[in-house]
């Protein structure tokens, strides 16, 4: 069956004419391209949990290219939290703020690093074989750059791969030879005389604000669930962290992203690239945390400073919600540490768990 690729254009939140123009030119230039379907959605991050946008995305089962005004890491994990999963497709395009030199530096740093043996949540996920490519619309002004990359991806996916192993031994099978000779004309459907229309999803998507977890970094340490006092996080049946009540998150509050030891918590619309999902934090911890997160106490380490800022931000939100501030001493109550005998004072939930233990069913 001929290969089809779906291109999803996730629109900007703003009505900025330059952004709309870029989106429209990408869509117009891809209509009628062999093997490519085009869908236009409101901003990915704002889609309602059971709205038509997510319904439409869930119905796409093949390879997909997402063009959004977000960092690729943010786009990928927004999809994941909505059960839209696949293997990460690799693109030749950069995301906002990324440069060739930065890429080389990052590769160099990664090759010098000692192997990380931490178990990540992604290691337990079973991802389907289809590919998901995420392109950052903020990185280039020219719509042709995106159109050409989409066409390159479509050709790459439609070209049958040749099993090199037996070629090296000098014995290609007849069917391999046939596929090799046909490789110049990839398996794309024939051109259509009338270009199809794009699928337009019209959803009244209001602006949302909630954390998105990068499961390729998350170690399920549960620091975030302990830190957030607004009931945003929860755990699933396999005791893995999840954003259970996203809309409980306080508008503009990024506090828990500062306390996550793995930089796994993303707020895609935050103005600071490292919090919004930039690859700088995804690749290595090159960023100096004290510079990134401010320095309330000159004697504190980078991580302590981050915790202080996070506690202050959380206090602001507690006060705004009419609750009492708890300050940095309220810090991150180590519920799991308490179970291991630490001196942290017990809270109501700990006392409840202790009482249940005493009941000895």
Footprint on this chain of ligand SF4 (rule: CB under 6 A):
211, 213, 218-224, 227-228, 230, 232, 241, 249-250, 253-256, 260, 262, 264-265, 314, 317
Query: Cβ 345 to ligand SF4, closest distance in Å?
Result: 20
- Distance between CA atoms of residues 336 and 222, nearest Å: 8
- Distance between CA atoms of residues 39 and 197, nearest Å: 9
Which residue is it, tokens 């293997």?
Answer: 87
Name which of 28 and 122 has its Cβ closer to ligand SF4: 122
Name which of 82 and 148 has its Cβ closer to ligand SF4: 82
DSSP per-residue letters across 44-107 = GGG--TTSHHHHHHHT--S-EEEEESS-HHHHHHHHHHTT---EEPP-SS--TT--HHHHHHHH
Name which of 46 and 223 has its Cβ closer to ligand SF4: 223
Name which of 91 and 263 has its Cβ closer to ligand SF4: 263
Query: Cβ 218 to ligand SF4, closest distance in Å?
Result: 3
- Distance between CA atoms of residues 293 and 281, nearest Å: 13
Query: Cβ 259 to ligand SF4, closest distance in Å?
Result: 7
Would you tell me the crossing angle of helices 143-158 and 17-30 to the nearest 10 degrees?
30
Name which of 93 and 255 has its Cβ closer to ligand SF4: 255
Name which of 75 and 218 has its Cβ closer to ligand SF4: 218
Query: Cβ 337 to ligand SF4, closest distance in Å?
Result: 14
Query: Cβ 121 to ligand SF4, closest distance in Å?
Result: 7
Query: Cβ 293 to ligand SF4, closest distance in Å?
Result: 14
CB-based contact 100:92 (threshold 8 Å): no
Positions of E strands within the chain: 5-10, 36-41, 64-68, 87-88, 131-136, 199-200, 212-213, 233-235, 241-243, 265-266
């Amino acid at each position: 069956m001929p290969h089809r690729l779906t291109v999803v254009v996730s629109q900007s939140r703003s009505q900025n004419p330059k952004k709309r123009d870029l989106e429209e030119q990408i869509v117009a230039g891809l209509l009628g391209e062999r093997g490519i379907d085009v869908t236009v959605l409101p901003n990915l991050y704002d889609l309602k949990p059971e709205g038509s946008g997510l319904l439409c995305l869930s119905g796409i089962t093949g390879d997909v290219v997402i063009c959004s005004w977000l960092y690729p890491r943010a786009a990928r994990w927004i999809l994941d939290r909505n059960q839209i999963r696949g293997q990460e497709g690799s693109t030749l395009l950069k995301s906002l703020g990324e440069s060739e030199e930065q890429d080389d530096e990052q590769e160099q740093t990664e090759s010098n690093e000692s192997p990380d043996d931490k178990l990540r949540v992604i290691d337990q996920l079973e991802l389907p074989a289809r590919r998901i490519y995420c392109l950052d619309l903020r990185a280039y002004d020219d719509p042709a750059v995106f159109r050409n990359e989409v066409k390159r991806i479509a050709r790459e996916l439609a070209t049958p791969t040749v099993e090199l192993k037996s070629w090296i031994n000098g014995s290609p099978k007849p069917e391999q030879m046939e596929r090799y000779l046909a490789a110049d004309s990839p398996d794309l459907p024939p051109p259509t005389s009338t270009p199809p229309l794009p699928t337009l999803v019209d959803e009244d998507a209001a602006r949302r604000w909630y954390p998105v977890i990068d499961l390729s970094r998350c170690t399920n340490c549960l620091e975030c669930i302990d830190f957030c006092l607004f009931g945003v996080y929860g755990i699933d049946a396999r005791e893995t962290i999840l954003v259970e009540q996203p809309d409980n998150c306080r508008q503009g509050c990024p506090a828990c992203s500062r306390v996550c030891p793995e930089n796994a918590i993303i707020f895609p619309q935050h103005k600071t690239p490292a919090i919004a999902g930039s690859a700088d934090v995804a690749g290595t911890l090159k960023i100096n945390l004290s510079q990134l997160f401010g320095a309330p106490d000159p004697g504190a380490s980078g991580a302590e400073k981050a915790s202080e800022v996070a506690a202050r931000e959380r206090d602001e939100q507690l006060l705004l919600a009419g609750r009492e501030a708890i300050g940095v001493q309220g810090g991150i109550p180590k519920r799991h540490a308490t179970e291991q005998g630490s001196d942290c004072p017990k809270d109501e939930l700990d006392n409840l768990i202790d009482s249940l233990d005493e009941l000895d069913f």
